[in-house]
Amino acid sequence: MSFLKEFDKDIFDLCEKELERQTDHLEMIASENFTLPAVMEAMGSVFTNKYAEGYPAKRYYGGCEYADGVEQLAIDRACKLFGCNYANVQPHSGSQANAAVYAGLLKAGDKLLGMDLSHGGHLTHGSKPSFSGQNYSSFTYGVELDGRMNYDKILEIAKAVQPKIIVCGASAYAREIDFKKFREIADAVGAIMFADIAHVAGLVVAGEHMSPFPHAHVVTTTTHKTLAGPRGGMIMTNDEEIAKKMNSAIFPALQGGPLVHVIAAKAVGFKYNLSPEWKEYAVQVKANAKILGEVLVKRGYDLVSGGTDNHLVLLSFLNRDFSGKDADIALGNAGITVNKNTVPGETRSPFVTSGIRIGSPALTSRGMKEKEFEFIANKIADVLDNINDTELQASVKNELKELAKNFVIYNQSTY
């Protein structure tokens, strides 16, 4: 029996339609994934009823003994997972975690240096529309014409800017980030090195991407994306003083009561990340992204940096007569969900863009491997080659719907 169906048929029906969409369409947005049913169960648990302002053994409410157990489990598993000494698992999102880093370590107007949004950075890395670009004096570095970071150039910029914090990490960068070099740059100018690994965290814990530890002073991540856990954020460090500042920045400075049910789900997700199967998953995520990129290059499409070392590829349409928005819509009509994305050398607005970002984590979670990704990549190219052919889009959608039937991750009994 579904309590939701009986109580609120409108929302139940929307949930059913979303389940159908996730099942029939191919989810290829690089920042999305499918989490475990156990994670979703924890998110819908009785802990949604509990207020627990404060931290384990230091709460402002009574009745938190079991909430303490949940949060401590999440902290312990996170520290084991990333090989760090301190973790704050309360941030509601990655952006919230990043806000706490700045609030705890900077004063209004202090200088921060982060990756340019159009070159693959994130809004919270100093972009002017974001609080990070409005509350602080933000400067940017980017990629070269080959689509890769030039660490010598970043050092030059850092020496000229003299930032208090250097942010490394990206939202749309297909190559491995060298955290050791970023620490050397930070040390050269006396800056704090802050690593935002929201996109690559799942690869990091599997040993499939360089770890920010022991190089970074402070690290943030989301717990979904490549970690395949619940939607949320986290802050980590090996520095006790920074840990204290992060705790104070999250509560009471930025957030009130933590979402204990989400923290429980984070703990469940971390248990999955600690399992032997996780390494196999991360290896497959990279292998799938690699074949995706190789096929698209063979079909004549330009990839920023020419390929990928991680879970995503970034296609550039600077030399095409259609935009990222056009590609996003056409692929959506064909049953493939991606997102339009700015690219280095961007000539169009952020609402239109000259590129799309495509990721492998979600379809890898469904069990797809190189064979399926090669097939999908060719279908993507077919659609882009005939961007205005709606009949082709409909045909591809039907083909991919048949493919998806063999890789069902959820069914109606899941939730």
Catalytic residues, which ones? 51, 53, 196, 222, 225, 231
Cα(35)–Cα(32) distance, rounded to whole angstroms? 10
User: CB of 112 within 8 A of CB of 139?
Assistant: yes
**DSSP one-letter code for 89:** -
Which DSSP string corresponds to 293-312? Answer: HHHHHHTTPEEGGGS-SSSE
Listing DSSP states for 129-186 in one string gives TSHHHHSSEEEEE-B-TTSSB-HHHHHHHHHHH--SEEEE--SS--S---HHHHHHHH
Tokens 């059913």 belong to: 16
DSSP string, 271-284: HHHTSHHHHHHHHH
Q: Would you call 351 helix, strand, or coil by DSSP?
A: coil
The arrangement of strands across the sheet holding 233-237 comes to 86-88, 233-237, 218-222, 192-196, 165-168, 111-115, 137-141
Instruction: Determine whether 149 is exposed, middle or buried from the number of CB atoms within 10 Å of its CB (0-12, 13-18, 19+).
Output: buried
Residue 239, phi then psi, degrees to nearest 5: -100, 120
Closest C-alpha to 339, from 357, 323, 314: 357
Neighbours of 8 (CB within 10 A): 12
